[in-house]
Chain A
Amino acid sequence: MTRKPNFLATFKLITFFMMFIALGAIFFYAPVEKTMGIVQKIFYIHVPSAFFAFFAFFITFVASILYLFKKEHKWDVIAFCAAEIGLTFCTIVLITGPIWAKPIWNVWWTWDPRLTTTLILWFTYVVYLMLRGVVRENQRSNFSAVFGIIGFANVPITFFAIRMWRTIHPVVITAKGLNISVPMKHTLLLTFIAFGLLFSSLLISRIRLEKMRVNTGEIKALIEDKIHFG
């Protein structure tokens, strides 16, 4: 019984150290980009955040399908928790993007295909989470699963927006690979590992919390029934 919390605590500690190593690499190892200057370093948090937001929504999509097929409550919990974390990462993307855009494009926001589709994606999952709060409990899981599947349609549109339409958003990942120098690639890899650990640690904690909440609710309902009906 005590092994699981210890594992999670160790995992969180590793994540914390990895985040510090990644920060060190961003500020002391990665070179300053010639055209954009120091502000380009926002790239190291913007790109991994976007990747893990997409990944989280993919988990929601898969877990929603599995819930509809198997009707097992755990898949609904996983879908919901992944959506919440995905939305957190997507919020980081939508905040760091305009901060990076202002000194480079001279505007905080422009209705560019990538930016617009990302904003729509953010609203989609805000609605997903809000819907769970208003739909009746017996319909909540089914409704959320359907929404989780339909909502995911916007993820590939957002990802390919910079390839399908004319856009000012830079294309970093091309068919030839990454369009950046080797130290930049190393730093990006480190930040990807750090954000991956952070994402996993948040997802494990959130799923554990949700299971605990559901179990506590069930036990409370049982006790209340026992008190009221003897």
Chain B
Amino acid sequence: MGGTAYLFAAFSITWAIIFFYTFSISRRQKSLEIQIDKIREILEKSLRP
């Protein structure tokens, strides 16, 4: 394996880790937004006369 292959591997893995971490944050945020929407629905139903 030449120097370029090692360089490519290092940069690819670094970008992959950053991408997956960012993706995991956005996925967790989406899941919380769904929960908030459900709470809003429950509250709206309970506040209806």
Contact = CB atoms under 8 A, between A and B. Distances in A.
Interface in A73-123: 85, 88, 91-92, 95-96, 99-100, 102-103
Nearest to A88: B21
Interface in A184-230: 198, 202, 205-206, 209, 212-213, 216, 219-220, 223
B47 interface: no
Classify the secondary structure of B's interface with A.
Answer: helix
Given A198-B18, A209-B25, A213-B28, A45 B11 contact: yes
A223 B29 contact: no
A150 B32 CA distance: 33
Given A39-B3, A103-B3, A209-B29, A202 B10 contact: no
A49 interface: yes
B14 A103 contact: no
B42 to A, nearest CB: 6
A202 B23 CA distance: 11
Interface of B: 1, 3-4, 6-7, 9-11, 13-14, 17-18, 21-22, 25, 28-29, 32, 35-36, 39, 42-43
